[in-house]
Every structure is written in structure tokens, then in C-alpha cells.
Homo-oligomer: A and B are copies of this chain.
């Protein structure tokens, strides 16, 4: 469906990334090749064999699945520093796309496994990433049984924790993407953002820039 136009910036550029981002620092990262993806570009497809591990250098990624009736469920969002693409089986059960223009480090799974066999730190890193994946899925399940207000508040808190910024949150994803992640409609997501704003828990500098005024109130609302 989406045209794959990944681009390898070459050695010079790669070195530049290394020095500026400080995200090529691990032994695993040394194996990787940075690639660039445009907004909505597919990184891998549902059902394809698992051949790479990916690390977000900049931008954001979503994993998603299209249901038979056309609804889309978003499985996870991945932010800079996150590893993704590790699945338990041999084939991907979700597809992955760029939420925004992003740079992704692609690491051949084969090479990663070989390295892991020699370097226990790498092995434990891969195990930890898989473990996070499982936790994410469980936490997401728990989110989906809650009310709309609880889901939206929970989403904001999760984003806040992951961005580790004290008060201003820059959401890379659209309302539609948030809705598809939370199992709600864009209208319901929007209404809840507005409700939180009216109760002075947050304020919206723009639709994607959220200032968090009252985190404990959000926690209370997340149940």
C-alpha cells in the first residue's frame, strides 16, 4: 500500500548522527543502519517475517492492525530511544508506520542474536525489550476496559512519563491516532481534552502541545 522509500544517509551522515545524538553508543547500535521514513510510511507490514530490530532515533512510530471492518487498532507508540519490532513469533502480527517524519536505526536480527550470544549485556537488552513489549500489551489491555476519561487521562500520563519532560508535552500523533490507540472516536478524545482543560488540569497551547498543570488530578481521573 505505502511506498517504501527508506534512505540510507551513508557513512559521513552516520557519523554525524553518532556524534550529535549519542544513540549509537551501545554495541548493538553499532550494528545498525540509520534510515529515514516519511510520515505514514510503512516500516514493516503485518504478516511479514521478522528480520530487523528497530530503534527510534527521532520522530515517532506506531504499530497497527486493520480489522476486517476497516477499524484500525494501534498497538503501541514508540518514541526516541525505544526499541521495537521484536515479536515473539517469526512473523509480525502488526505493521509499523512512521507517525511523523523519523529516523530509525535498523539492526539485522541475525546479527543481533549473534552478538547476544557473545555479549550477555546485549542478550539482556533484547530480553528486556521483549519484556517491555509484554508489559505494554498488558497495560494496554487494562486501559481498554476503562471509561473514556480514564483512558485519555492514562494516555496523557503515560506520554508524560515517557517524555520525561516536566510539564509541557509535545504529542507527535493526531487525534485519530490517539483515538485508534484508545479504542475511542476522535470526538470523544477531543471532548475529554477539552474537559481536562476546563477543569484546569491541562491547557492546550496548540492541539499537539499540552501543558500539564495538575498531574495528581489526572492520576485521580485515570482511576
Q: Which of A's residues lie within 8 Å of B, judged by CB?
A: 65, 67-69, 71, 73, 75, 87-89, 93-94, 127, 130-135, 137-138, 140-142, 144-145, 183, 223
Contacts and interface: CB of A to CB of B under 8 A. Distances in A.
Given A141-B141, A183-B144, A135 B88 contact: yes
Nearest to A132: B88
B130 A88 contact: yes
14 contacts: A73-B141, A73-B142, A73-B145, A88-B131, A88-B135, A89-B131, A93-B138, A130-B130, A137-B137, A137-B141, A140-B141, A144-B144, A144-B145, A144-B183
B87 A141 contact: no
A223 B142 contact: no
Within the oligomer, what is the number of copies of this chain? 2
Nearest to A88: B131
A139 to B, nearest CB: 9
Contact of A144 (B75, B127, B134, B141): B141
A132 to B, nearest CB: 8
A165 to B, nearest CB: 26
Contacts of A130: 88, 130
B144 A87 contact: no
